[in-house]
Amino acid sequence: MPVEIPKDKWTGKVRTVTLGATAAEGGTRTKSIVVGGDTTMPFMQFEAPTAHTPVIAIEIKSRKPDDWSSLLEETWGSVMSDPAAWAKAAEAAGADMIVLWLSLEDTADDAMRAVKSVLAATGLPLAVYGPGQVDKDNELLVAVSESANGEKLLLGICEDKNYRTIAATSMANGHLITARTAMDVNLAKQLNILISDMGLPLDRVIMDPTTGALGYGMEYGYSVMERLRLAALQGDAMTQLPMMVTPGFETWKTKESKVGVGVPEAWGDWKERAIHWETLTATALLESGASIVVLRHPESLKRVRTAITELMTA
Does the protein bind other proteins through residue 313 (CB under 8 A)? no
Instruction: Report the relative pairing of strands 33-36 and 16-19 from DSSP bridges.
Output: antiparallel
Question: Which of 120, 275, 274, 87 minimizes the C-alpha distance to 76?
Answer: 87
- Measured from the CB atom, the residue of 88 and 189 that comes closer to other proteins is 189
Does the protein bind other proteins through residue 189 (CB under 8 A)? yes
Instruction: Report residue 226: phi and psi, to 5°.
Output: -60, -40
- Measured from the CB atom, the residue of 226 and 299 that comes closer to other proteins is 226
Chosen residue from 120, 193, 198, 312 binding other proteins by CB under 8 A: 193
Which DSSP string corresponds to 40-82? SSTT-TTTS--SS--EEEEEEESS--SSS-HHHHHHHGGGGG-
Does the protein bind other proteins through residue 234 (CB under 8 A)? yes
**H helix intervals, 252-297:** 255-258, 270-287
Chosen residue from 239, 251, 257, 291 binding other proteins by CB under 8 A: 239
Does the protein bind other proteins through residue 198 (CB under 8 A)? no
Quick note: the x/- pattern for other proteins over 266-285, rule CB under 8 A, is --------------------
Task: Give least dist CB 182 to other proteins, A.
Answer: 13
Chosen residue from 41, 44, 183, 194 binding other proteins by CB under 8 A: 194
The region of 64-72, 224-232, 261-269, 291-299 touching other proteins under the rule CB under 8 A is: 224-232
Does the protein bind other proteins through residue 185 (CB under 8 A)? yes
Q: How far is CA 290 from CA 29, 81, 111, 148, 293, in A?
A: 23, 30, 28, 27, 7
- Report the distance separating Cα 303 and Cα 171, nearest Å: 36
The 8-class DSSP code of residue 190 comes to H
Q: How far is CA 48 from CA 10, 55, 161, in A?
A: 10, 19, 38
With beta carbons less than 8 A apart as the criterion, state whether 71 and 296 touch.
Answer: no
Instruction: Report residue 97: phi and psi, to 5°.
Output: -160, 155
Chosen residue from 186, 199, 266, 314 binding other proteins by CB under 8 A: 186
How far, in whole angstroms, is CA 262 from its chain's centroid?
32
Q: Report 88-117 residues binding other proteins (CB under 8 A).
A: none
Size of the site for other proteins (CB under 8 A): 18
Does the protein bind other proteins through residue 187 (CB under 8 A)? yes
- Report the distance separating Cα 270 and Cα 197, nearest Å: 48
Question: Which of 9, 51, 12 minimizes the C-alpha distance to 237?
Answer: 12
Please confirm whether the linkage preceding 157 is cis (ω < 30° from 0): yes
Task: Give least dist CB 197 to other proteins, A.
Answer: 7
Chosen residue from 52, 113, 164, 227 binding other proteins by CB under 8 A: 227
The region of 7-15, 81-89, 142-150, 186-194 touching other proteins under the rule CB under 8 A is: 186-194
Quick note: the x/- pattern for other proteins over 165-184, rule CB under 8 A, is -------------------x
Task: Give least dist CB 39 to other proteins, A.
Answer: 19
Task: Give least dist CB 14 to other proteins, A.
Answer: 15
Task: Report the interface residues with other proteins, using CB under 8 A.
Answer: 184-187, 189-190, 192-194, 197, 227-228, 231, 234, 236-239
